[in-house]
Amino acid sequence: MVHDLVVRRGGRLVLDGISLGIGRGSVTGLLGPSGCGKSTLIRAIMGIQVVESGRVSVLGQPAGSPSPRSRVGYVTQRPALYDDLTVRQNLAYFARLTGAPRDRIDEALALVDLGRVQDQRTSDLSGGQRARVSLASALLGQPEVLVLDEPTVGLDPVLRQELWHTFRGLAEAGTSLLVSSHVMDEAARCDDLLLMRDGTLLSSGPPDELRARTGEQDLEAAFLQLATEASS
């Protein structure tokens, strides 16, 4: 839950009074052009961003509190993996760091469908496989909330589709996902959409609600219409 959040970075207003909520067991897409403040909002939700004013809580606790932290998984834009270790060794390392039981490694590998490459060195993986190793490391702790900052950036359409399939499976199993993207064609895959522009939220709600509100079937056209209305 985010209430009236204001963030300034380098003296610039980057988030200008954002309020939103995220549904449980669903995929919420955070969409907007590059530089609109998506990563900053995600950092605030993870409790690692200095905020000027407003409130952010996750699972009923203030963002960044120790207790929800283990229940919240976070995948940043740059996967932090050890290239000289195998996939399994990377996950074993993160399991040790986070105190996750070792048998959880097999479950996480299965969830992201990487069992077959578990003994390959991470340096030899494709971009999509690397993204999924990073996702698997966030799944080790069986998080209730999973926050992913542009997980599909730089991936080809087939890999993107596979990753979205994984997200859907996780949501169906009860995880709440917040997924940021600047690619509007990913919007239709979400249960709820948060559309951002210049540090403000243009709209929030299911894709169909956005279509009905704007009279546009195409979500990119709907976004453009809202952006035009907001600046006029």
Ligand X SMILES: Nc1ncnc2c1ncn2[C@@H]1O[C@H](COP(=O)(O)OP(=O)(O)OP(=O)(O)O)[C@@H](O)[C@H]1O
Which residues sit at the interface with ligand X, rule CB under 6 A?
9-10, 12, 14, 32, 34-40, 182
Ranked by CB distance to ligand X, the top (closest) residue is: 10
Compare residues 117 and 194 and give the one whose CB is closer to ligand X: 194
Tell the smallest beta-carbon distance from residue 220 to ligand X (Å): 16
Tell the smallest beta-carbon distance from residue 32 to ligand X (Å): 6
Compare residues 32 and 151 and give the one whose CB is closer to ligand X: 32
Tell the smallest beta-carbon distance from residue 208 to ligand X (Å): 25
* Rounded Cα distance, 107 and 113, in Å: 10
Tell the smallest beta-carbon distance from residue 2 to ligand X (Å): 14
Compare residues 43 and 69 and give the one whose CB is closer to ligand X: 43
CB within 8 Å of 34: residues ≥ 6 apart: 182
Compare residues 14 and 178 and give the one whose CB is closer to ligand X: 14
Tell the smallest beta-carbon distance from residue 18 to ligand X (Å): 11
Compare residues 37 and 47 and give the one whose CB is closer to ligand X: 37
Tell the smallest beta-carbon distance from residue 228 to ligand X (Å): 19
Compare residues 63 and 108 and give the one whose CB is closer to ligand X: 63
Q: Residues 108-147, buried b or exposed e (16+ Cβ, 10 A)?
A: bbebbebeebbeeebeebeebbbbbbbbbbbbbbbbbbbb
* Rounded Cα distance, 170 and 119, in Å: 24
